[in-house]
Amino acid sequence: MISCMNIDALAFAFLILVLSIFVYKKRHEIEVVRVLPPIMFFYMYRTKVGIDLMDVLAKRYNNVLKRISKLIVPIGFIGMAFVSVEMVRNLVMSLLHPQAISGAALVLPIQAKGVFYVPFFYWIISILVVVVVHEFCHGLFSRVAKVPVLSSGFAFLSILLPIVPAAFVEPNEKLLLRRSVREQLAVFAAGPVSNLVFGLLFMLVSLLLTHYIVSPMYLYDGTEVSSLQSGYAVYDSGIKPGEIILAIAGVPIKKVDDFKTAMDGKKPGDRVDVQTNKSVYNLELGANPTDAAKPYLGVIIMQKKSMINPSMIKDIVVWFDGLLFWIFVLSLGVGFFNLLPLGIVDGGRMFLSAANLVFSKDRATKIYHVTSACFLLVIVGSLVLNWVR
């Protein structure tokens, strides 16, 4: 019987094959952008898809979109400050606390070291939704600024082979640079901010669906130990992966959320009884890797549950709820990543435009390059930490 993991791997391999054939057949029409040659490239296939719709919406809702554009820029810079601080803080915490989870990882539908795994069909649908929203909003706010969109199209990130589908729009750069700085910033920020907004909307819908429809379908039977983290008392306690945690300090554990209730009022160094379906273990709580003042057990857990009266309709609802969750997660991830003051993403262009307002052009460019290089090191460092652990 083929496991879900094998299905994901086969589907991902088939996608790579299809993308590779497409890139080869369209090789004379595709622009190749060298990112880290000879390993990493970006393939761009130009079309006119969606441009007419951008024009129609920009004309019909021009006044509303102009008001929205005034909000996009401050939201974008607030997001940039937040994600910049979090990325640096997370890298520092990862270096100081080896058990902490690094803040950057490749998001792929395969289970491998250093990879943030998302099931294939959730991954491909979520990626397509996220990139279409991102690029369409770039184009839409370009049209609001009266900047023509020359082309739209499909793109593929290639690491030896094309592995991640993407999308792009190309505003007329010469005309865009003649617009006011505020209008330029609105165009740059439109993509990532739209991802954040849509991500939050998907989160809200997912939470409502989960709470009112999905959760009542299940019986919650405790939490299963998936793995143990070294550096904590639980690692040598005798608890084994696969055991079901039923109670902590006398608090019944039916759902993952019950962990928080069990930890209320506890602090690092306290001892608690952990009851599983195999035995009772008396353990000393460690310090949370992201907040040393908070207690931490040191287990990675999965929810143990069974569906009441299973049916195909219920399975479809649950699958759709999972899709909403992953669109929310990847929307926020892509949105925040693109707000980093990094040369290859929208945040880099926002940062340079803002720096040009404060400093001379030469000084602003130097600050931009130094900042971009620093955040590139932060990302690479986080990826490496994820891979070596």
| Single-letter residue type at 242 | G
Question: In what helix (H) or strand (E) does residue 361 lie, and over which residues does it extend?
Answer: helix 361-388
**pLDDT reported for residue 182:** 93
**Residue 318 vs residues 177, 219, 312, 367: alpha-carbon distances, Å:** 47, 14, 10, 48
Query: Looking at residue 235, what DSSP letter applies?
Result: G
Structure tokens at 230: 């070294």
pLDDT tens column, 319-370? 999 999 999 999 999 999 999 998 888 999 999 999 999 999 999 999 999 9
pLDDT tens column, 12-49? 888 889 989 998 898 899 988 887 778 888 889 999 99
**pLDDT reported for residue 256:** 83
161-171 vs 115-117, strand pairing mode: unpaired
CA distance 178 to 159: 36
Structure tokens at 90: 């997370």
**pLDDT reported for residue 219:** 86
**pLDDT reported for residue 1:** 41
Give helix 181-209 / helix 312-337 axis angle, nearest 10°. 150
Question: In what helix (H) or strand (E) does residue 281 lie, and over which residues does it extend?
Answer: strand 280-284
**pLDDT reported for residue 101:** 64
Pair 47, 335: CB distance under 8 Å:
no
**pLDDT reported for residue 362:** 93
Structure tokens at 123: 């991954």
CA distance 115 to 101: 12
Q: Which residues of the chain have pLDDT under 70?
A: 1-5, 98-103, 114, 389
Pair 115, 26: CB distance under 8 Å:
no
